[in-house]
Amino acid sequence: MGWDAQDATGAARYPEGMPIAREAASVALDSVELRVLHLPLVSPFTTSFGTETVREVIVVRVRTADGDGWGEIVTQPAPLYSSEYTYGAWDACRRWLIPALLGPARVRPEDVGTILERFIGHRMAKAGLEMAVLDAALRTESRTLSEYLGAVTDRVPAGVSVGIQPSPAALVETVAHYLGQGYRRVKIKIRPGRDIADTAAVRDAFGDIPLQVDANAAYTLADAELLAALDPFDLILIEQPLQEDDLVDHAALARKLRTPVCLDESIVSAKAAADAIALGSAGVINIKAGRVGGYLEAVRVHDVCRSAGIPVWCGGMLETGIGRAANAALAALPGFTLVGDVSASDRFYEHDIVRAPIRLTDGWVSVPTGPGTGAEVDESAVDAVTVAREVVRR
């Protein structure tokens, strides 16, 4: 199954996919291991929340009677992107979520969400646990995550998310570096004071490249006029200009802008996506499995958007090779008609924790073909960056 060429907006068209029955094997969980990793970034990543130089992330390993599965909890160290944060997720997992999962004799990946439903929130934690169970279950069936989720293509175009740089000139230099590597769409981070001039600098330097901006909730509706000044730059979209819970204000803002408004932080579930669409708060939606509580809910968000005619793209949370492989599979679903933040591992990491890190081929990323997520974890690489470890047993 191939891809059509991108159109001028950076969108890519997919062939129609056949719906699949989504049911995987059940597994008998013996234990769940959590590790906090500190993975150094190749360069600092600055957003409207601040700067990170090390990716602090949790990896999950489930041990089952039939083999292991790995997942990733994409929280940040501090509750800035969302209310979740590393050691909050850690505590929720060890105290509540993992004991609940270890209750039944066997679990199917499709049961994880239901088992954990009574615990409010903690979506990234739930997503990482579900991913590990899904990985283990699909491996027992020698099945790929992409086939299970309903992928319709074997490669996805790569987009890069570029953090705020010391100056617009430095931003142009950084963007040139990524374009040189073949990235097919550029997203730049903006915040008040680093918006119009940065966008203008990139547009002036590179002409009509597919370009979009991400504000990470740094503005209010009072900034509508300022944000309308981005309209002349022909951006694909502006991502999450206002606060997470500002659906009504986003709808008001969308009416004032020519640039499509895309929601990221606000879309925490398929229901939230349906609400945002009904309110007119989003013309585009960014799908991140962690933010919505797992890859299964991510597919439900995709399905809601697809039937409403709302284009989606796959977001990123600086994933390790585990989540990066899973994202490549998700991004191969038919509704993902815009280029996502699906990048090569070396965009963030010199040493990933998997044996075959995701890489770029002519600006594309291959959808993994191995069983489960397709990521083969390099345990010694994991050991080298582990700063905390706990095993919760049945």
Q: Which of ligand SMG, Mg ion, none does 76 bind, CB closer than 5 to 8 A by kind?
A: ligand SMG
Kindly state whether residue 161 participates in binding ligand SMG, applying the rule CB under 6 A: yes
Which residue do the tokens 């705020």 mark? 164
Contact 242, 221 (CB under 8 A): yes
The one among 26, 46, 75, 76 contacting ligand SMG by CB under 6 A: 76
Kindly state whether residue 216 participates in binding ligand SMG, applying the rule CB under 6 A: yes
x/- mask, ligand SMG, residues 315-354, rule CB under 6 A, reads xxxxx---------------------x-x-----------
* Cβ burial 89-121 (10 Å sphere, 16+ → b, else e): bbebbbeebbebbbeeeebbbbebbebbeeeee
Instruction: Give the footprint of Mg ion on this chain (CB under 5 A).
Output: 214, 239, 264
Kindly state whether residue 56 participates in binding ligand SMG, applying the rule CB under 6 A: no
Which residues, at least 6 apart from 129, have a Cβ–Cβ distance to it below 8 Å? Answer: 32, 60, 62, 71, 73, 93, 97, 98, 101, 112, 116
Q: How far is the CB of 289 from ligand SMG (least distance, A)?
A: 12
Nearer CB in complex with ligand SMG: 136/237: 237
Q: How far is the CB of 280 from ligand SMG (least distance, A)?
A: 22
The reply to whether 271 belongs to the active site is: no
Question: Residues 49-55: contacts with CB within 8 Å, 24+ apart?
Answer: 49/76, 49/80, 49/81, 49/216, 50/80, 51/163, 52/76, 52/77, 52/318, 55/318, 55/320, 55/348, 55/349
Q: Which of Mg ion, ligand SMG, none does 349 bind, CB closer than 5 to 8 A by kind?
A: none
Q: How far is the CB of 265 from Mg ion (least distance, A)?
A: 7
* Number of other CB atoms surrounding residue 209 within 10 Å: 15
Nearer CB in complex with ligand SMG: 130/341: 341
The reply to whether 288 belongs to the active site is: yes
In whole angstroms, give the CA distance from residue 97 to residue 112: 10
CA atoms within 13 A on the CB side of 36: 16
x/- mask, ligand SMG, residues 22-51, rule CB under 6 A, reads -------------------------x-x--
Interface contacts to ligand SMG, rule CB under 6 A: 47, 49, 76, 81, 161, 214, 216, 264, 315-319, 341, 343
Residues recognised as catalytic: 189, 288
